[in-house]
């Protein structure tokens, strides 16, 4: 079992910056990737950024060049640094941790979500 606790969400003005954090606990040894998703009202949850244990990072086209995902393995924490924020970035941001499934494929754990609101 893996538990994910997020923090750092809030209200910022367009053009501002914010860093959100996700601390993982439990069966951390089983995790091979972590990432951030977001869901805006009336929209489906979408991948924002991900980071594998091998060091590969991926970003949604809408956030490339503005957002940066990073990990502090000693603290079992993943961060999302968000710069040049836009009103369209407003959403609930969810931390994700992924592990291999015993029956094949993958299994996902989710944080409770943290609200990020960007005002114009």
pLDDT band, residue 23 (cuts 50/70/90): very high
Write the pLDDT tens digit of every residue in 40-67: 999 999 999 999 988 899 999 999 999 9
Gap between the Cα atoms of 109 and 25, Å rounded: 11
pLDDT of residue 28: 87
Predicted local confidence at residue 75, as pLDDT: 86
Q: HEC profile for the chain?
A: CEEEEEECCEEEECCCCEEEEEEEEECHHHCCEEEEEEECCCCCCEEEEEEECCCCEEECCCCCCCEEEEEEHHHCEEEEEECCCCHHHCEEEEEEEEEECCCCCEEEEECCCEEEEEEC
pLDDT of residue 74: 85
């Amino acid at each position: 079992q893996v538990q994910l606790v997020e923090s750092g969400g809030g209200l910022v003005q367009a053009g501002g910056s914010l860093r959100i954090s996700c601390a993982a606990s439990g069966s951390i040894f089983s995790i091979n990737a972590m990432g951030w998703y977001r869901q805006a009202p009336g929209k489906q949850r979408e991948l924002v950024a991900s980071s594998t244990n091998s060091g590969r990072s991926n970003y949604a086209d809408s956030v490339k060049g503005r957002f940066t995902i990073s990990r502090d393995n000693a603290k079992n924490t993943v961060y999302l640094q968000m710069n040049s924020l836009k009103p369209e970035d407003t959403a609930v941001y969810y931390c994700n941790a992924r592990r291999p499934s015993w029956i094949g494929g993958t299994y996902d754990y989710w944080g409770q979500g943290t609200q990020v609101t960007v005002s114009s």
